[in-house]
Amino acid sequence: MSGGGGDRKKKSWRGTTGGEEAGGEFYQESYPGGEADMDLALPRDPHHLATLLPSKQNRNATTKHPRRDSRASLKRRTSTRSRYQTTTVRQSTTQINDIQLSMMPDLSENLSNEERMWEEIMLIKSMPISMAQKKEMKAQLQSADTFRLQGLKQFKWQRRKMWEQFKMQWKETYSKLELWKHSLKKIEGNFGTGVVAFFLFVKWLMLLNLTISAMIVVFVVMPTVMLPPAPAPPSHADPCSVFISPDNQTNNEPVYCCSTSYKLVKNRTENETFIDFVQGTGWMESTYVFYGVYPDKVLLSDLLNYNLPLAYIGIALCYFLYSLASILKGSARGFKERLIEGEGQFYHYCNIVFAGWDFCIQNERSSVIKHKALYNEIKGSLEAERRADEKRNRSREERFKILMVRVIVNCLVILTLILAGILIFFAFSYSRSELEKIEMVEQIPRYYSLLLEFAPSMCIVSLNLVVPTIFNYLVSFEQYNPIYVVRLTLFRTVLLRLSSLGVLIASFYPLLKCQIHSSDCFQESACESTPCWEVYIGQHMYKLLILDTVSSVLITFVLNFPRMLMAKHINCRLARFLGKQEFELPKHVLDVVYTQTLSWFGSFYAPLLPVITTLVLFVIFEVKKFACLVNSTPGSSTIYRASRSNSMFMSVLLVSLAVAVIPWAFSISEMMPSKTCGPFRGQRSAWSVMEATFHTFPGWVKATADFCTTAAFALPLFVVLVLSLYYYYAVAAANKHMVAVLKKQLILEGHDKQFLLNRLSAFIKQQQERHKAAAAAARSIDVPPNS
Amino acid sequence: MGHGVSQFTEQELQDYQDLTFFTKKEILYAHQKFKALAPEKVGHNRNAKLPMSKVLQYPELRVNPFGERICRVFSSSRDGDCTFEDFLDMMSVFSDAAPKAVKAEHAFRIFDFDGDDMLGLQDLRQVVDLLTKPQRLSDQDMQHLLQNILDEADLDDDGALSFAEFEHIVDKSPDFANVFCIRL
């Protein structure tokens, strides 16, 4: 038997079990009379002793016997209640669960009541026995005498049962409604759980955007559409027409006039439906998609006054907090897993072997690749271990060389990033200045101006395509281990994507700055002609989003699909080299996260952007599915593990949320909203609406809030936080220490057990031999007189 | 689905629902899948016993290196032939709803090839071989790997993994519950 075989082998490896020479007498003294029992219980092979230990007995009782025994004997076994109870005990120890704990056998009560019986029936399903046996057990339990529950207890039990049934029903309906269930299964069958985690992530993001959209639509868009705004101030006889002329700069017109002028400016632009749709100008600008059209007034109806500006900023705050909370919730799970993983770099090999195969794989080809990938991973891990040994022995020169290479590569990466930033900045300012010129001349063909409009966005998109390839190339020089390479490349690419977005946002700033100082509604002469900078930003985000989606659709269908066809049908090495593609998870994750960043940042300036993003993500899911199932060959040399990738997604998303929120927070608190448009026209900053509302609160709320911001409150709070942090740190450290101690103890116990078992088996062998010798001696003594 | 209803009484479905991690609809769906393996046989007798070769036609089992072993573990006659009830048991354990402990229990039985309730070196070697086939690790690598596994998981140092030790690993493995899943 392999257990015994293992024992023997292990012994020869470690060679720790010495002291065999101490004779058997010791045992005879300490266990008088035990000998006879042992002889009975012992099988022929003394090494089999281990299976007799109490720690092994429990499991034997539950799994081995029903498996081995015939059905007839099983009947007897199941009819005695005790067997079932041992199962329950084991269940409750293995699964720390309240229900299970309450199932601990209560010996004071022999007859169970209905609720208990029901609970026990519910437990049968998790037992490792065949269906026929389960059925039998259920019948047994049902036929046993039970107490009927009375009164409140009965009611509670019924309620619990109803709740369970309801949950079952819900599960059934939910599984019908579940989106993309079939696609996910198909992807899983072909690519395994790691890639499915990405698609689940896309789905999760889509639901997040759907929630955000719902919030915005319900609290911002619907009221604007349904409720009439408060009546305008007493009408002037169109005094505003005077103010629009650019030369009238000294005047400090009322906000109302600026709004009118904004409308006039909007009407000036010519109507070109498609181009306007793509750019978000013209008729698009005056839809509810953009910030500009939302009124700055309290909306009135018969029932309520609706303060739209307050709702606008409040909802923005809400959905950012909601996003943060859901990311944290998602990553908390991942974080726990990562912690476990961190502690258990320890369980690395076990994880490969016992959780290596995706049981959901159903495709011949991908199973072949999975086999290969597992083989490679095992090989790679062993190799890495060997390399780590080598690394310790690496000479100083080699170490220095690698260090130099890494420094140089990092410098190159930073240089590339800076170059990319400069390129984006120049593209932006060039397109601005050219566009201005065009507006002067007004004879350049329309498509040229469209090209210019899109220049910054296209620059960003093409950089996103090219630079990661360079990074991929550079990282191969650095001689990191494969897992670290994936992380490093991802980190660098994230840096590129987000910094390019950052540069774009930053290049808006000077544009807006000059507007803030002007007292006019807007100045066409001094600054660029942006009547409403919020809309301008919104338009840019909208354009980027559209362009990004279109480019990913085009790349998938126009570039990669023919490549795949080429690789498949042309039997030539070059074609195959050019056409073969793998589903590179990090790249696709970045695409999606980038989209989400655009949506977050743009959502304040274009409130319907999350709705668009929801649709875009829906499309992207299908596109990526195509890219995955049709374009890519399944599996790659690296195995993507669901756990690892999930925590990766969430951390990237968290960074991108920060990138979106920080400029937003700056813009609402520091920058003056444009006077011509939007819900905050005429305010010092968007945040001042919040402040104004705060001032209308009752005195004690204000007092409390004021107190909360004073040092008298903050300092003690800080101290308490630090102390509690320290406390938890200390507890964690103590626990860690305890774990180490217990582990050591466990190993020692194991050694003790091994030692004793070996001594025992040696002793028994000795005894048997002695018996044999005695018997032989007796025979030899007996024989001669007879003969 | 309407076709399947005639084959089971409400009481039977209720029993199955109580005794597995499935809802009634899923049970009927599972039966459809089972029937698809051998339409003429199962159409005749809904609880017909299918030989292992037929059960292994099920897509996920066909490509699974442990396919045969799974059939043997779940077969009530121990020879790999499965009735519908055995199949339902199997799917129930592999379903999303089954808790980790149940999955661990069965995984242990699947990996325990010689059935001695311990994952010994022989068992582990077999598992690794099935995982990497058709390639084989060199003897030295295999030795190294097994040694690493035991170093990681064999807490009591007896050269084999007991169920408790196995469960401990599985509990800590972030992937196990995800991976040990066959969706209907």
Q: Mapping DSSP to helix (H, G, I), strand (E, B) and coil, where does residue A111 land? A: coil
Q: What is the mean pLDDT of residues B146-151?
A: 86
Q: Which residue has the higher pLDDT, A683 or A211?
A: A211
A432: closest CA of chain B, how far (Å):
51
Per-residue pLDDT at B4: 43
Q: Which of A177-186, A414-423, A524-533, A700-709 is predicted most confidently?
A: A414-423
Q: Which residue has the higher pLDDT, A397 or A244?
A: A397
β-bridge mates for residue B50, sequence order: B82
Question: Does the beta carbon of B149 lie under 8 angstroms from any beta carbon of chain A?
Answer: yes
Q: Mapping DSSP to helix (H, G, I), strand (E, B) and coil, where does residue B150 land? A: helix
A120: closest CA of chain B, how far (Å):
11
Residue A495: pLDDT band by 50, 70, 90 thresholds?
A: confident
Residue A74: pLDDT band by 50, 70, 90 thresholds?
A: very low
Report how far residue B75's alpha carbon sits from residue B87's, in angstroms, rounded to the nearest whole number: 8
Report how far residue A372's alpha carbon sits from residue A637's, in angstroms, rounded to the nearest whole number: 8
| Domain boundaries for CATH 1.10.238.10 within chain B | 10-94, 100-180
CB-nearest to B116 from A1, A350, A355 is A1
Least confident of A470-484, A488-502, A517-531, A734-748: A517-531
B33 Cβ contact list (under 8 Å, min separation 6): B58, B184
CB pair distance less than 8 Å for A10 and B158: yes
Per-residue pLDDT at A249: 39
Least confident of A118-127, A277-286, A564-573: A277-286
Per-residue pLDDT at A211: 94
β-bridge mates for residue A306, sequence order: A299
% pLDDT > 70, chain A: 71
Report how far residue A714's alpha carbon sits from residue A707's, in angstroms, rounded to the nearest whole number: 9
Q: What is the mean pLDDT of residues A591-600?
A: 89
> Is the pLDDT score of A400 beyond 80?
yes
Q: What is the mean pLDDT of residues A287-304?
A: 76
In this predicted model, what pLDDT tens digit does every residue of A618-670 receive, in sequence order?
Answer: 999 999 888 888 887 765 555 566 666 677 788 888 888 988 898 888 888 88
Q: Residues of A with CB below 8 A from B114's CB?
A: 1-2
Instruction: Using CB atoms within 10 Å of the CB of residue B13, give its burial: 0 to 12 exposed, 13 to 18 middle, 19+ buried.
Output: buried
φ, ψ of residue A127 in degrees (nearest 5): -95, 145
CB pair distance less than 8 Å for A6 and B163: no
How many A-B residue pairs are in contact by the CB < 8 A criterion? Answer: 246
> Is the pLDDT score of A468 beyond 60?
yes
A504: closest CA of chain B, how far (Å):
40
> Is the pLDDT score of A111 beyond 70?
no
Cis? peptide before A673, omega within 30° of 0: no
Mean pLDDT, chain B, rounded, equals: 83
Report how far residue A194's alpha carbon sits from residue A391's, in angstroms, rounded to the nearest whole number: 31
Q: Which of A353-362, A621-630, B2-11 is predicted most confidently?
A: A621-630
- Domain covering B10-94 assigned CATH 1.10.238.10 in the classification: yes
- Identify the helix (H) or strand (E) that includes residue A307: strand A305-307
Residue A324: pLDDT band by 50, 70, 90 thresholds?
A: very high
Question: Does the beta carbon of B148 lie under 8 angstroms from any beta carbon of chain A?
Answer: yes
φ, ψ of residue A113 in degrees (nearest 5): -95, 180
**CA-based nearest residue in chain A for residue B21:** A125
Q: Mapping DSSP to helix (H, G, I), strand (E, B) and coil, where does residue A305 land? A: strand
Question: Does the beta carbon of B5 lie under 8 angstroms from any beta carbon of chain A?
Answer: no
Per-residue pLDDT at A13: 41
Look at chain B and count its residues.
Answer: 184
In this predicted model, what pLDDT tens digit does every residue of B51-70 receive, in sequence order?
Answer: 888 888 888 888 888 888 88
> Is the pLDDT score of A239 beyond 50?
no
Residue A265: pLDDT band by 50, 70, 90 thresholds?
A: low
Question: Does the beta carbon of B36 lie under 8 angstroms from any beta carbon of chain A?
Answer: no
Q: Which residue has the higher pLDDT, A231 or A202?
A: A202
CB pair distance less than 8 Å for B105 and A172: no
Residue A109: pLDDT band by 50, 70, 90 thresholds?
A: very low
Per-residue pLDDT at A692: 83
Question: Which of A359, A361, A367, A747 to probe the B interface (max B CBs under 10 A)?
Answer: A359
Residue A2: pLDDT band by 50, 70, 90 thresholds?
A: very low
| Helix segments in B38-162, DSSP class H | 39-44, 52-55, 59-63, 67-74, 84-94, 100-111, 121-132, 139-153
**Which of these, A772, A743, A279, A730, lies nearest to A542 by C-alpha position?**
A279
Q: Report residue A104 as tokens.
A: 């601990």
A325: closest CA of chain B, how far (Å):
23
Q: Residues of B with CB below 8 A from A132's CB?
A: 76, 85
CB-nearest to B172 from A7, A188, A344 is A344
In this predicted model, what pLDDT tens digit does every residue of B111-129 receive, in sequence order?
Answer: 888 888 888 888 888 888 8
CB pair distance less than 8 Å for B63 and A131: no
CB pair distance less than 8 Å for A362 and B63: yes
Per-residue pLDDT at A85: 40
In this predicted model, what pLDDT tens digit does every residue of B162-184 receive, in sequence order?
Answer: 888 888 888 877 778 878 888 87
Instruction: Using CB atoms within 10 Å of the CB of residue A403, give its burial: 0 to 12 exposed, 13 to 18 middle, 19+ buried.
Output: exposed
Question: Which of A45, A60, A200, A353 to probe the B interface (max B CBs under 10 A)?
Answer: A353
In this predicted model, what pLDDT tens digit does every residue of A126-167 receive, in sequence order?
Answer: 777 777 788 888 888 777 766 677 777 788 878 888 888 888
Per-residue pLDDT at A427: 84
In this predicted model, what pLDDT tens digit does every residue of B65-83 receive, in sequence order?
Answer: 888 888 888 888 878 888 8
Q: Residues of A with CB below 8 A from B111's CB?
A: 354
Q: What is the mean pLDDT of residues B22-43?
A: 85
Report how far residue A288's alpha carbon sits from residue A277's, in angstroms, rounded to the nearest whole number: 13
Q: Which residue has the higher pLDDT, A734 or A783?
A: A734
> Is the pLDDT score of A21 beyond 60?
no
Residue A78: pLDDT band by 50, 70, 90 thresholds?
A: very low
Domain ranges across chain A: 186-231+254-392+504-684, 697-766
CB pair distance less than 8 Å for B101 and A382: no
Q: Are A309 and A691 in contact (CB under 8 A)?
A: no
The per-residue DSSP string of A629-640 comes to IIISPS--SSPP
% pLDDT > 90, chain A: 9
Per-residue pLDDT at A613: 93
> Is the pLDDT score of A191 beyond 50?
yes
Q: Residues of A with CB below 8 A from B18's CB?
A: 121-122, 124-125, 138
CB pair distance less than 8 Å for B131 and A349: no
Question: Does the beta carbon of B45 lie under 8 angstroms from any beta carbon of chain A?
Answer: no
Mean pLDDT, chain A, rounded, equals: 73
Question: Which of A49, A74, A349 to probe the B interface (max B CBs under 10 A)?
Answer: A349
Q: What is the mean pLDDT of residues A242-262?
A: 48
CB pair distance less than 8 Å for A353 and B149: yes
Per-residue pLDDT at A230: 63
Report how far residue A59's alpha carbon sits from residue B164's, in angstroms, rounded to the nearest whole number: 9
Question: Does the beta carbon of B60 lie under 8 angstroms from any beta carbon of chain A?
Answer: yes
Per-residue pLDDT at A76: 37
Q: What is the mean pLDDT of residues A766-783?
A: 85
In this predicted model, what pLDDT tens digit does every residue of A434-455 receive, in sequence order?
Answer: 777 766 665 556 677 777 777 7
Q: Are B85 and B32 in contact (CB under 8 A)?
A: no
CB-nearest to A359 from B19, B159, B181 is B181
Per-residue pLDDT at A322: 94
Per-residue pLDDT at A93: 39
B88: closest CA of chain A, how far (Å):
8
In this predicted model, what pLDDT tens digit does every residue of B96-115 receive, in sequence order?
Answer: 888 888 888 888 988 888 88
Per-residue pLDDT at A610: 92
Question: Which of B68, B154, B173, B184 to probe the A interface (max A CBs under 10 A)?
Answer: B173
| E strand spans, A170-249 | none
Q: Residues of A with CB below 8 A from B99's CB?
A: 95, 126
φ, ψ of residue A453 in degrees (nearest 5): -55, -40
Q: Residues of B with CB below 8 A from A353's CB?
A: 124, 127-128, 131, 145, 149
Report how far residue A447's alpha carbon sits from residue B63's, in angstroms, rounded to the nearest whole number: 55
Helices (H) and strands (E) in chain B, counts: 13, 0
**CA-based nearest residue in chain B for residue A374:** B132
Helices (H) and strands (E) in chain A, counts: 32, 4
Report how far residue A214's alpha carbon sits from residue A219's, in angstroms, rounded to the nearest whole number: 8
Residue A209: pLDDT band by 50, 70, 90 thresholds?
A: very high
CB pair distance less than 8 Å for B128 and A353: yes
CB pair distance less than 8 Å for A55 and B164: yes
pTM of the model: 0.72
CB pair distance less than 8 Å for A347 and B63: no
CB pair distance less than 8 Å for A7 and B158: yes
A641 Cβ contact list (under 8 Å, min separation 6): A193, A194, B174, B175
CB pair distance less than 8 Å for A347 and B123: no
Instruction: Using CB atoms within 10 Å of the CB of residue A342, give its burial: 0 to 12 exposed, 13 to 18 middle, 19+ buried.
Output: exposed
Domain B100-180: CATH class, spelled out: mainly alpha
